[in-house]
Chain A
Amino acid sequence: MTKRRAVLAIALVAVFGAAGCSTKVVDASSSPSAGKLATGPGVTDTTITLGVLTDRTGPYAGLGKAVEQGRTLFWDDRNAKGGVCGRKVQFVLKDHGYNPQNAVTAYASIKDNVLALHELLGSPEIAALLDSIQSDQMLTGALSWSSSLLSNPYVVISGTTYDVEMINAVDWLVKNKGLTKGDKIGHIFHEGDYGENGDAGVVAAAKEYGLELLPYKIKPTTADLTAQVTALKSAGAKAILLTVAPAQTASAVGVAAASGYAVPFVANAPSFSTALLATAAKPALEKQLYVATSIAPFSATAPGAAQVRDAFVAKYSDAIKIQYALFGYAQAQIMAGILDTACKNNDLTRAGLLKAFQSQSHVDTNGLIAPLDFSKPGGIPARQTYILKPDSAAAGGLTQVQDLFAAPLAQSYTPSK
């Protein structure tokens, strides 16, 4: 018994005594980085490291992959031309599989080694990390367009938010599809950040245009929207808005078409996927669906978009062509712009990046995304939207029906409760 205790005591002393030799011991004499340029974590003399937390195995794996390809396209080219501040930009990528707990662990593992997060995919994941992003001063390129994220100044939303997209969608329906005051419209949306943000926009638009709104909230896993569409048909809704997942869009539009309910549907961008055009719902989608988004379609004719597209097709000839590849490129452009500004200010620290971000009042991505203004903290960065239409003959599956525009309400709208 005493012998056991002695052994235990010796072990304890050894273990804790050796702690002094641990690599975690703070060296009091650590020197600041040399030169005029102030640098933060992840910055060395030759490289800048940025983090990417994405989905490779969950429901948005395809979206994540396309964005990555766009990003790689941009940065390979840029690094070949010298990178940023004479340094090559490299990435640490982690797959959270659309699980917020994994995202938290992954973030913890990379946060000390990166200057900023080039990409963070998924509303639940962004929500789980909002406070850490704030306290770590980590500039984050969000792959979500929910305006509820704007309360955090470090979140970079590259595009028009879902609520404004829906406002523009309703405006377009009123101007082009004959909706008038007193008409009923339906909105089917996801429970959660994404859907509810869209809902906020539809509610505001319905009030503005005097329309009666019939909302239906569904779960992301609901497969069959017959009940909702049936209910809207009996109520006589003249148009239906969608803030859902692609399969659910196909279900809703397919059911409507099959029962002769020929109303127009307008959906937020994540509600559509090119893969839908390979299903039986294709004719219905091409006939009745429209997509409201601030990202240019893959088939866009603007010179900037066309150039990126050609480069993309040359590099990734078998990849699926969707607009998120263009988005990935554009987001990289935006981040590069922020880094360049920070470099010019001689401040490549996290605080410096924030300053650089907030100084960008007119960001032009050569037509890949609507023009962006980041200079009003907490403000919606872009207000304009394209209206696109599914078209299986077009590369990327979408063609343009309406060029970038912003409804009057979209210009003045601020999120509120």
Chain B
Amino acid sequence: MSKVDVAVPVTTVPVSPRRTRSLALPAVATAVVVLAAVPFYLDRFWLTLGLFAFAAAVAAIGLGLLLGQAGQLSLGHAFFVAVGAYGYTYLAGTSRTVGVSHQGGLGLPPLIALVLAVLLAGLAGLLFSPVAARLRGIYLGIASLALVFAGQHILANAPLVTGGYNGRTVPPLTIGGFGFDDGAPGTQLLVLGVPFHREERLWYLGLAVTALAYLYHRNLVRGRPGIALRAVRDSELMAGMMGVPVTRYKGYAFLVSSMYAGLGGVLLALAFGRIVPVTFDYAMSIEFLVMVVLGGLGSAAGAIVGAFFVASLPRLLDRYADVLPGLAEPGGDGVSPAVAARFGYAIALILLLLIEPGGAAGLGRRVANRFRRNR
């Protein structure tokens, strides 16, 4: 009646003799190498795009875990992302008065603030899990939506922590003495002759964090927790009978996925440089859901692909508006690049799901299967 049916990929855990090893890991490894070279060639537009995509990817992996592996529908992901972003900003920020806005901050070392922010997001997820345990399916989904609205309300009404509507500046991350910002004025960091500003440095952080997030997810999914989560997803009754502590694993799923969300939130905050409450709204939660389904439920690589697609498309269309036919001038009548981007993204979503409900991961599997058969 209200059970959430989840598209179960046929080979969630590829049990493979050597010849038919999953293609996901080598593909991701190649991608990492290519991506590592990007800051040497591409300009700030691409780097900023990438930073937002990495942040989205990490959070999307978390939602994929919750929805794909544990079968818990959550529309509240934006809330946990906000906890991570604002948590880091408050913990690492210093008390100051900007104009008429008084802001508090604990001034902790940024790396500590990052870890604490992620833990805080996880804690929030853990606190929500008893509610999640009581609810099922769409009821859980819409109850988690309440988190987003409550979050928006809190963000707006706690200016001491959040800076209110004007938002607040995000302190740059420093690890050891190395700052992920433009460096001291007048200095320049040159790597192989290329100046490394804030975006170039953050790029590697984003890449590393995303790669680690992917690997951790992979281990989790293949290991015991993954099996337990999938058992809970497929049938709570059966799982309970087999001795899986259902409520505990539901809590665990929320804990881990919220921590992913929090980490994505910190990356997002660092990418932005300044966060405003209106970013973490219903539309953001929906975007994450779209990313995960587009990528294919249950697949971390798919979640990353979905995240990159959703985060990039509007900006790409906007950037190349003048070379794409049929797009009106900004200010003119007709279809502007932003509108076209929205059409494109929506149509892509509909078409992809019609062709392959398993999302990008499903397409990937089809391709891989074809490879294997042709050998």
Is chain B in direct contact with chain A in the complex (CB below 8 A)?
Answer: yes
- Seen from chain A, the residues whose Cβ lies within 8 Å of a Cβ on chain B are 8, 11-12, 15-16, 19-20, 22-26, 54, 56-57, 64-65, 68-69, 93-95, 97, 100-102, 104-106, 108-109, 111-112, 123-124, 127-132, 135, 148-151, 191-193, 196, 200, 415-417
A20-B193, A93-B331 in contact; A101/B33 too (CB < 8 A)?
A: no
Please give the distance in Å from A317's CB to the nearest CB on chain B. Answer: 15
* CB of B166, distance to nearest CB on chain A (Å): 4
Residue among B34, B193, B274 making CB contact with A131, cutoff 8 Å? B274
By the criterion of a CB under 8 Å from any partner CB, how many residues of chain B are at the interface?
50
Q: Which chain B residues lie closer than 8 Å to A56 at the CB level?
A: 330-331, 336, 338
A63 → chain B closest CB, angstroms: 12
Q: Which 10 pairs from chain A and chain B are nearest by CB?
A: A151-B99, A19-B40, A25-B193, A109-B45, A15-B37, A127-B166, A192-B165, A108-B48, A57-B338, A24-B194
Q: Is A106 touching B44 in the complex (CB atoms < 8 A)?
A: no
B52 touches A105 (CB 8 A): yes
Bound CA–CA A415/B98 (angstroms): 12
Q: Which residue of A lies closest to B340 (CB)?
A: A57
User: Is residue B156 contacting chain A, with contact meaning CB distance below 8 A?
Assistant: yes
Whole-angstrom distance between the alpha carbons of A101 and B283 in the complex? Answer: 12
Point out the residues of chain A lying under 8 angstroms from B33, CB to CB.
8, 11-12, 15
Question: Does chain A have a CB within 8 A of B337?
Answer: yes
Q: Output the residue of B102, B331, B336, B342 with the most chain A CB within 10 A.
A: B331
**A129 lies within 8 A of B274 (CB):** yes
- Contact status A131-B99, CB under 8 Å: no
What separation, in Å, do the CA atoms of A68 and B156 have in the docked complex?
32
Are A191 and B156 interface neighbours, CB within 8 A? yes
Residue among A11, A54, A417 making CB contact with B100, cutoff 8 Å: A417
CB within 8 A of A26: which of B52, B166, B194? B194
How far is A66 from B339 in the complex, measured between Cα atoms in Å? 19
What distance in Å separates the Cβ of B330 from its nearest Cβ neighbour in chain A? 5
Chain A residue numbers with a CB within 8 Å of B342 are 57
Q: A57-B339, A101-B52 are in contact. List 5 more A-B contacts (CB 8 A).
A: A15-B33, A16-B40, A26-B190, A128-B275, A148-B99
Q: Please count the residue pairs between chain A and chain B whose beta carbons lie under 8 angstroms apart in the complex.
A: 136
Point out the residues of chain B lying under 8 angstroms from A124, CB to CB: 165, 276, 278
Closest-by-CB residue of A relative to B48 is A108
B205 in contact (CB, < 8 A): no
Closest A residue to B163 using CB positions: A127
The answer to the question of B247 belonging to the interface, with a C-beta cut-off of 8 Å to chain A, is: no
Stretch at the interface among B121-129, B236-244, B296-304, B311-319: B311-319
**Contacts known (A95-B330, A95-B337, A100-B279); A105 close to B165, Cβ less than 8 A:** no
In the assembled complex, how far is the CB of residue A120 from the closest CB belonging to chain B, in whole angstroms?
A: 14
B338 and A132: CB pair below 8 A? no
Cα A69 to Cα B332 in complex, Å, equals 10
One digit per residue, 1 when the CB lies within 8 angstroms of any chain A CB and 0 when it does not, for chain B 242-285 equals 00000000000000000000000000000011111011000000
Q: Contact partner of B48 among A105, A123, A128, CB < 8 A? A: A105
| Residue of A with least CB distance to B199 | A108
- A residues near B102, Cβ cutoff 8 Å: 417
A417 to B98 CA separation, bound complex (whole angstroms): 11
Q: Which of B37, B315, B318, B338 contacts A16 (CB 8 A)?
A: B37
Q: With A124-B276, A417-B100 in contact, is A19–B331 under 8 Å at CB?
A: no
**Closest chain B CB from A90 CB (angstroms):** 14
Q: In the bound complex, do residue B44 and residue A112 qualify as a contact, i.e. CB atoms below 8 Å apart?
A: yes
Q: Are B276 and A128 in contact (CB under 8 A)?
A: yes
Contacts of B182 in A (CB 8 A): 135
Instruction: Please measure, in the bound complex, the distance between the C-alpha atom of A135 and the C-alpha atom of B197, giving whole angstroms.
Output: 13
Please state if B48 and A109 are interface contacts (CB–CB under 8 Å).
Answer: yes
Some 24 contacts from A to B, beta carbons below 8 A apart, are: A8-B33, A16-B192, A19-B41, A20-B192, A25-B194, A56-B331, A57-B336, A57-B338, A57-B342, A94-B318, A101-B272, A102-B314, A102-B315, A104-B272, A106-B318, A111-B44, A124-B276, A124-B278, A127-B167, A128-B274, A131-B274, A150-B99, A193-B165, A196-B165
